[in-house]
Structures are given as C-alpha cells and as structure tokens.
Structure 1
Amino acid sequence: MTSATTCLAEAAFGPRPDRWPLPAPTSQRDRWLRAVAAGGQGRYASALADLACIAAHTAPDPGAEPLLSLAYSTRASFLRQLGGHDLARGWDGRAWAVAGQDLEAGADALVGLAADALGVGRFALSATLLQRAQRLIDGSGPARLPVRLHWVSAELNMAGGAGTLAVGHAERATELAELTGSPRHAVKSAVVLAAALCSGGRLPDARRVADEAFGETERLGLVPLRWALACLLADIGSTVHAPAHVAAVRDAAADTVRRRGGVWTRR
C-alpha cells in the first residue's frame, strides 16, 4: 500500500481515527476510506464530496460496483447518524442492488437495511435482514462486519424490550471491536453497550461505560459519538461530569456537526 493508503486505512478503520487533515487519495478506494474517516469525525461535507466523486467515476464501470455499493452504504450510515432512517433506506437499497457477490458490500448493505427498518419501527423486517446478513458473513470478511451486526442486533433487542439479550449482543460487539484495532469501533460499541445496560435496568454500569467512552470521544475527535454519549448521559446522569457540562457538550457537538455539513433530520 502507498503511504497515503496506509494513513487513510488507519484513520478509517485503524488506530488513528483522529487524523486530520487527511492525505489526498491515490485511488477511488482511498477516497472511500477518506470519506469513512471524515464521517467519523463529523466532517460530513468533506465525506459527502468524496462519496459523490466515487459515484461519478465508478458508476459506468461494472467491475467497480462493490466500491460503489460501499459508498452508498456509507452515505446511508451518515443519514442514520443524523436521524434520517427513511432517507437512508433508499441509499442502502441502492447499495444492495449493486453489491453483487461481494461479501463486504453485501453485508454492509444488509446490516444497513436492518438498521433502517429498525429506525422506522419495522422490527420483524429488521430481524429477517439481520439473519440474512449473519448467513452472508458467517465468519468471513473484514472483522468490522460482525461488530456492526451485533450493534444492530443489540438495538433491535432494546427496541423489543429484551434488555438481557441486548446486553449480550453489545458485550460481544465490544469484544470483537477490540480485535479490529479500531478505537472508533470500540467507542461505538461502548455507546451501544451503555444504552443496552440502560434497557436492562443496570444504570450504574451504564454510567460507568458511558463516562469512560465520553472521554475517548474527546481524545479521538469523534464528534457524532460524543453527541450520542452526551445525549445518553443527559438522560441517565454522569458520575464524572455535571449536568450543565454534559448539556453544553451535547449542544456544542450538534453545532459542530452542522458547521461541518451535517443536516439533522427530525422525525
């Protein structure tokens, strides 16, 4: 790999999610990695520009369809982060349509569709899509795929009132995230685990997990996850930070997302 590719891979899925500025891409896959990394920092305008460039340069080439699928899935994930599950569904549908036989692209699209269905209350459909994704992954593909699968499985169980099962999926995601070498995935897993612990009535454990991850979001510059944790801690209380501080961080993170090109969707 080129030095640029290495830097971008480390920022997107490796140990340096805080890296900014990011180097110029040397390929369209590099451009996707840069979009993923920028999105993790809440730099949505930059990320969306790269995704649009991928679509403009790969759509005519059937051999590049898996990368196009990943770009569509990534755009959908940004929309979900900002509350737009209905809008995300269309992009995940496009991702699935062009994924072909590519395992990574197909699994990302299915898990994304499951998350979209969950977000609009279609729990049975979400469960069916997760089962299809599980069969597709089946121990293969990038290490991040089962992590994502367990995130959405935990969220589905939370929505269904099955707190214990939700905690189990979230704990498994946390374990698997450590194997990916990605602090961003580890922090997102902690967000899901804290929420699952809440759903299981384990508020002291939820506060402990959320408070620890809250500090990591600041250190790593993960603004969307910082906002999510601040929202959670504003509801359940922090053992470290005063309510006014948590509320200030929440509002500042939301403003930073707006300044960086994110558009919040309210349902």
Structure 2
Amino acid sequence: MDDEAFGSNPGAWPLPGAATPEDLWLRAVAAAGQGRYACAHSDLDALMRSRPDGRLGSLAQSTRASFLRQLGWHDRARPLDGAAWARSGGTGEAGADALIGLAADALGVGRFAASQRALERAAELVAASPCARLPIRLAWVSAELAMARGEGTALAHAERAVHLADAAASVRHRVKSRVVLAAAHCAAGDLDAARREGDRALAETGEHGLVPLRWAVASLLVGIGSAEYSPAQVTDIRDVCAETVIRRGGVWRSR
C-alpha cells in the first residue's frame, strides 16, 4: 500500500486489501487522493475500531481532518487535528502531522498568527523526524500562509516543496507541490509562470487520477487562464472534478 499512498502509483484502483491497521490508514490516504472520500472514511472507521496505538490513531485523525480541509471545512478539521495532537503525545511523525494540520486549519479561518506558531512548533518535530513527506507538507503550508499574508517568501517556500518532493517517492506530493508553486507564482504576479506550472499540474493530475488536486489547479486556471487549454475546457475540467468528488462521497463547503 505504500506505493499507492506515498509512491509511484497514486491512481491505482481498486486498491489492495488491508491486512493490518497500518494498511487501513494507507488505503484511506490513497483513496482520498483520488477523491474517494466515502471509501477513505470507511477505512478510517475500521482502523479506529481496531483500537490503534497512539501514533496510528493520531495519523487517522489528522488524515480525516485533511479530508475536511480539502473540501473547505477548516473549522470542522480543527477539533480532529487537536485530537490527533493529543493522541500523538506531542512527538514524532504524528505530532508533526497534527501541528501542520492545525496550522492549515488556522490559516483557513484567517488566524495567521496561530498558524505561524503551529508551524514553528511543527518545524522542530519535522527536523527530528526521518519521514520524507513532513518537510514537504511544512513547506506547503508555509507557502500558503505567506501567500495569505502577502509576503514575498511564498515563492521560496513553494520552490523548496518542489525541490524536496522531486527527491521523494510520492508522485502525489510532487504534483501538489507544483500546484502550490503555480499559486505562489500567481500571488507574486508572474502569471506566465503560474500558467506554465498550472498546465503541467493539470496534465499530471489527469494522468494519475488525482481528482481533488485536479479540481484545485483547474480552479486556479479558470481565474488566470491557461496556455494549453481553452477557458471552456478548464471550466469543464473543474466542474467534472467537483461532481466526481460528490459522487465519491465528498461534501463541498461551498455547495
């Protein structure tokens, strides 16, 4: 399941069966990357019924919170990330994931100072962890916070995410890093670079079946235009992705 959740095959479907609680978590991560939220929640429900240890229980809560954020429910994600932090014991991979999630939750509701504090605390745990995805996630949220604040550091954070992701195994993390970079270029006023990165990400999300990320980058390109696709094509891609997420169990906040 590592290859589907954090490797080279994020679009695989159907997913392999789960032999362990860890497999249930990995299945949920992989399914959500495809926008299959009903399947992902089902696997997390089964995981929690197995009475997981603190780390895995924390990761399950953080993962469920990430689903809510992807659909616009940052306020509902926060209690889950708080529960994840409590379960983590404030250490390791799970603790870092929970703090990064709390930073993203705060950012999503405009609590920028709280987001910055959570990122600073997370950075200490990330630096002490061998988990390759954590520095990438930290760079994503750091870039997003800088964009929200109108700070010029957003592009540097996004470029760091791309650099780290290019050296990692996860296709999904590489593609999302391109989406964040496109947004950072847009925020910096370089629309040609934003279109270039956005068009690349749009193609890659389609190739790998990453429906939520495809919706996100199409939404960006609807606003700034695409060098490769017509306005009608980009709008259609965005709308088809939104409907696909609904069919697969997602509930958009804006709908």
Q: Could you say which residue in structure 2 is the equivalent of 1:234?
A: 222
For structure 1, which segment, 101-110 or 196-205, has the greater mean C-alpha deviation from structure 2 after superposition? 101-110
Q: How far 1:102 sits from its partner (Å)?
A: 4.2
Paired with 1:137 and 1:183, the residues of 2 have a C-alpha distance of 21
What SS class does the counterpart of residue 180 from structure 1 fall into? Answer: coil
Question: What is the one-letter code of the residue matched to 1:184?
Answer: R
Conserved? CA contact 2:84–2:94, under 8 Å = yes
* CA-CA distance at 1:141 after TM superposition: 2.6
Does 2:60 correspond to 1:58?
no
Matched, 1:116 2:105: yes
Are residue 37 (structure 1) and residue 26 (structure 2) matched? Answer: no
Question: Which residue number in structure 2 is paired with residue 92 of structure 1?
Answer: 81
2:182 maps to 1:194: yes
Aligned-pair CA distance for 1:135: 0.9
Residue aligned with 2:229, SS: coil
SS at match of 2:19: coil
2: CA distance between counterparts of 1:231 and 1:102? 36
Give the aligned residue type for 2:66: S
CA deviation profile, 1:106-139 (whole Å, cap 9, x unmatched): 0000000000000000000000000000011115
The separation in 1 between residues aligned to 2:166 and 2:216, in whole angstroms, is 21
Q: Identify the residue that residue 235 of structure 2 maps to in structure 1.
A: 247
What SS is found at the alignment partner of 2:167?
helix
Q: Is the 8 A contact 2:78 2:102 kept in 1?
A: yes
TM-score norm. by structure 2 comes to 0.98
Q: Which whole-Å deviations, capped at 9, do the CAs of 1:237-263 have from their partners, x for residues lacking one?
A: 000000001000100000000000001
Where 1:37 maps in the other structure, the secondary structure is helix
Structure 1 contact 58–65 (Cα < 8 Å) conserved: no
Q: Is the 8 A contact 2:155 2:185 kept in 1?
A: yes
Name the residue aligned to 2:148: 159
Question: Which of 193, 197, 218 is matched with 1:205 structurally?
Answer: 193
Q: Distance in 2 between matches of 1:139 and 1:207?
A: 36
Given the alignment, which residue of 132, 156, 178 partners 1:168? 156
1:75 aligns with 2:64: yes
Cα offset for 1:101? 5.1
* Unpaired stretches in structure 2, ≥5 consecutive residues: none
Aligned partner letter, 2:123: Q
2:210 is matched with 222
CA distance in 1, matches of 2:82, 2:254: 21
Query: Separation in 2 of the partners of 1:256 and 1:30?
Result: 25
**The 10-residue stretch of structure 1 (214-223 or 132-141) with the greater mean CA deviation from structure 2:** 132-141
Q: Deviations over 1:131-174 (max 9, x none)?
A: 00001111523100000000000000000001x30000000000
C-alpha distance in structure 1 between counterparts of 2:159 and 2:216, whole Å? 18
Contact kept? 2:15, 2:27, Cα under 8 Å: yes
List, as ranges, runs of 4+ consecutive aligned residues in structure 1 with deviation greater than 4 Å: none
Partners of 1:69 and 1:199 in 2: CA distance: 34
Asked if structure 2 preserves the Cα contact closer than 8 Å seen for 1:66 and 1:102, the reply is no
- Counterpart for residue 22 of structure 1: 15
Number of equivalent positions: 255
- Opposite residue 11 of structure 1, the aligned amino acid is E
User: Structure 2 counterpart of 1:42, which letter?
Assistant: G
Residue 48 of structure 1 is matched in structure 2 by: 41
Taking every aligned residue pair, what percent have the same amino acid on both sides?
A: 59
CA contact under 8 A between 2:34 and 2:210: conserved in structure 1? yes
Give the distance between the partners of 1:169 and 1:102, measured in 2 at CA.
24
- What amino acid is the match of 1:41? Q
Other structure's SS at 1:265 match = coil
Partners of 1:129 and 1:30 in 2: how far apart?
A: 29
Any unmatched runs of 5+ in structure 1? 1-7
